[in-house]
Amino acid sequence: MKEHWLDEFVDLVLEKTKEHVVASGTSISGSAHVGNVADPLYAHAIAAEIRKRGGRAEALWIADDMDPLDSVPPPIPREFSKYLGMPYVDIPDPYRCCRSWAEHFTKEFLDAIEKLGLEIKYLSGASMYRDGTYLPWIKIAIERAERIRDILLRVSGTLKPSDWLPYMPVCENCGRVGTTYAYSFQGDRVLYRCDLDVGYAKGCGHRGERDIKEGRGKLQWRVEWAARWAALNVTIEPFGKEHAAAGGSYDTSKLIVKEVFGREPPIPLTYEHVMIGGRKMSKSRGNVFTPSQWFEVAPPQTLKFFLFRVHPMRHKDFRVEDLPNLVAEYERAERIYYGFEELQDAKLTSLARRNYELSQIGEPSPVMPIQLPYDFAVVLVQLYPNMDVKRLLEVLRLTGHLWREPSPEDLERLLTRLRHASTWVEKYAPESVKIKLLDDPSAVRDKISEKQREALAKAAELLLEREWGPNELNNRFFELSRSLGLAPSEFFEAAYLALVGRKSGPRLVNFIAAIGRERVAKHFLVAAGRGSALI
Partner RNA sequence: GGGCCCGUAGCUCAGCACGGUAGAGCGCCCGGCUCUUAACCGGGUGGUCGCGGGUUCAAAUCCCGCCGGGCCCGCCA
> Which lies closer to RNA via its Cβ, residue 248 or residue 529?
248
For residue 123, the cross-strand partners are 62
Helices 323-337 and 300-308 pack at an angle, to 10 degrees, of 80
CB of residue 379 vs RNA: minimum separation in angstroms? Answer: 4
> Which lies closer to RNA via its Cβ, residue 56 or residue 280?
280
DSSP string, 93-146: PTTSSSSSHHHHHHHHHHHHHHHTT---EEEEHHHHHHTTSSHHHHHHHHHTHH
- Residue 419: C-alpha distances to residues 111, 318, 422 (Å): 20, 21, 5
Amino acid identity for residue 215 in this structure: G
> Which lies closer to RNA via its Cβ, residue 56 or residue 397?
397
25 CA to centre of own chain: 17
Question: What is the sign, positive or negative, of the torsion defined by CA atoms of 70, 71, 75, 76?
Answer: positive
CB of residue 501 vs RNA: minimum separation in angstroms? Answer: 8
> Which lies closer to RNA via its Cβ, residue 5 or residue 115?
5
CB of residue 348 vs RNA: minimum separation in angstroms? Answer: 6
157 CA to centre of own chain: 36
CB of residue 27 vs RNA: minimum separation in angstroms? Answer: 5
How many Å apart are CA 295 and CA 521, to the nearest integer? 40
Q: Where are the beta strands (DSSP E) in 324-373?
A: none
> Which lies closer to RNA via its Cβ, residue 242 or residue 450?
242
Backbone dihedral region of 184: left (phi > 0), alpha (psi from -120 to 50 degrees) or beta? beta
CB of residue 528 vs RNA: minimum separation in angstroms? Answer: 18
CB of residue 29 vs RNA: minimum separation in angstroms? Answer: 8
Angle in degrees, CA 504, 394, 377, rounded to 5:
60
> Which lies closer to RNA via its Cβ, residue 322 or residue 357?
322
CA atoms within 13 A on the CB side of 118: 30
How many Å apart are CA 274 and CA 272, to the nearest integer? 7
Helices 470-483 and 508-515 pack at an angle, to 10 degrees, of 120
227 CA to centre of own chain: 30
Question: What is the sign, positive or negative, of the torsion defined by CA atoms of 220, 226, 230, 235?
Answer: positive
Considering only CA atoms, which of 468, 273, 354, 481 is closest in space to residue 10?
354
- Residue 494: C-alpha distances to residues 476, 497, 499, 507 (Å): 16, 5, 9, 14
CB of residue 177 vs RNA: minimum separation in angstroms? Answer: 9
CB of residue 6 vs RNA: minimum separation in angstroms? Answer: 12
CB of residue 366 vs RNA: minimum separation in angstroms? Answer: 27
> Which lies closer to RNA via its Cβ, residue 244 or residue 368?
244
CB of residue 491 vs RNA: minimum separation in angstroms? Answer: 7
Tell me whether residue 275 is exposed, middle or buried, using C-beta atoms within 10 angstroms of its C-beta: 0 to 12, 13 to 18, 19 or more.
middle
> Which lies closer to RNA via its Cβ, residue 61 or residue 376?
376
> Which lies closer to RNA via its Cβ, residue 16 or residue 347?
347
CB of residue 339 vs RNA: minimum separation in angstroms? Answer: 18
Contact (Cβ atoms closer than 8 angstroms) between residue 484 and residue 497: no
For residue 189, the cross-strand partners are 186, 211
Q: 3-class DSSP state for residue 219?
A: strand
> Which lies closer to RNA via its Cβ, residue 44 or residue 222?
222
Q: 3-class DSSP state for residue 287?
A: coil
CB of residue 97 vs RNA: minimum separation in angstroms? Answer: 24
Radius of gyration, CA atoms only, the chain: 31
Angle in degrees, CA 245, 249, 255, rounded to 5:
110
* 285: Cβ contacts below 8 Å, ≥ 6 apart: 279
> Which lies closer to RNA via its Cβ, residue 214 or residue 242?
242
